[in-house]
Amino acid sequence: MNKPYLTGHYTPVTDEVTATSLVVEGTLPAELTGRLLRASHNPKPGVVPTHWFKGSGMVHGIRLRDGNAEWYRNRWVRTPALDGAPYITEQGPDFRVSTAGTHVIEHGGRLLALCESALPYELTPELDTIGAYDFGGRLHSSMTAHPKENPVTGELHFFASSPFPPFLTHHVVGADGALVQSQEIPGASAALKHDFAITEHHVVFLEGSVTFDPTEHSGIPYAWSDAQRCRIGVLPQGDGGAAEVRWFDIEAGFGMHFANAYEDVLGRIVIEGVTVDRDGWQRSWNWWVGAPGRGAEPVAGSTGRRWVVDPGAGTAREERTDDLNVEFPTINETRLGRVHRYQYALAFPDDQGIGNHTLVKYDRATGERWLRPVGVGQLPSEAVFVGAADAVDEDHGYLLTVVSDLISDESRLLVLDARDLTATPVATVHLPRRVPAMIHGSWIPDPN
């Protein structure tokens, strides 16, 4: 059986290339001066990983400046995992053995490729590997692939999750890149925690129905458990916050990614993201491992959710916010941790008549949504928002997405007007090859 994550849009590339002076249709806005970097799982030729997430990491980059697309390049992240080194040793997990294929960020002047079970890997601006990075010897655990940067303070929050005690550790890195706080979170369990959220004053963790299962032999030892207690943990930011963490019970389910969280005018904590039920999780998992009974896409039955935690009443409630099969929710990250109006996501084909992969924009104030299908055989990446230089509104800016085109066997970067998804692209950058479907990434502007 062909593994689904090695075919179609997910077919790995077999080499590293550098191409310069890329063809641009339309006009690239002057404020798009920087690099769009994206991570993918891309095992070397001949290697068939036992799970999609076990594929070695590769970072793809597109350099834009002064209205030009100066280069595209792709590079494997050269960790011991690329050459088959084991993650589990007689001494326990080796945090240097990273796939580094989930996300890539910049903080404190360092470019970091991430996967949640290992240390981050530092890269050069040209995407060559420098090595594992442990924040000057202060980080002794893994680092989530979904850190959150406070847009006001510049602090970077992240966590380490483990199937064994300590189950959850929260870390804070200052705007200068120095690790300044680490604290174990009491009451946490072995439940899988892939993403989390921050508000202005809190850190928010979600424990869903997926937890450690030693009988799962794909290399990712987690499975759905009806017995797992599902909860939201609310941690006050600052020194000593761990002792004040509170846990609130929620319905069964699993949330892979969260768009944002914030405190409303009543002091309640609102978390928005996507979640799956038991059937959706199992069909997605079967795709990830290449087992029968899988969905046609890597996510199945993933729909929008909102959780509202009322600390005063000691309650949490949940509501479904949309019926589309969506994933990879994003926002204008200047609103991270604060109330946001607009949200973006990628809708996957399902039985509701969409027909092909579609970018979605939501207006939380009016309840409206707008769809931009990209066409049969086309798969866009997670949409990254970049604000316009003269932005006056939250959605005044651009959405950047890399489209994998199976029909023409090529890829292109679309620069879309975030205010109007249906408009002609502001610009299209033609890439020198078809770029495999990717996971997460970042827009990294040049320093002012």
Would the annotation count 194 as a binding residue?
A: yes
In 311-374, the DSSP E strands lie at 315-320, 326-330, 342-347, 358-363, 369-373
Query: How many CA atoms does the CB half-sphere of 171 hold within 13 Å?
Result: 20
3-state secondary structure of 189: coil
Burial of 280: CB neighbours in 10 Å, binned 0-12, 13-18, 19+:
buried
Sign of the alpha-carbon torsion through 292, 295, 298, 302:
negative
Would the annotation count 107 as a binding residue?
A: no
Q: Give residue for tokens 């890439």.
A: 431
DSSP 106-167: EETTEEEEE-TTS--EEE-TT--EEEE--TTTT--S---S--EE-TTT--EEEEEE-SSSS-
Structure tokens at 85: 């080194």
Would the annotation count 157 as a binding residue?
A: no
Contact 62/35 with Cβ under 8 angstroms? yes
What is the C-alpha separation between 228 and 213, in angstroms, rounded? 11
What is the C-alpha separation between 321 and 383, in angstroms, rounded? 20
Q: Which residues are annotated as a binding site for Fe cation?
A: 146, 194, 257, 440
Q: Which residues are annotated as a binding site?
A: 146, 194, 257, 440
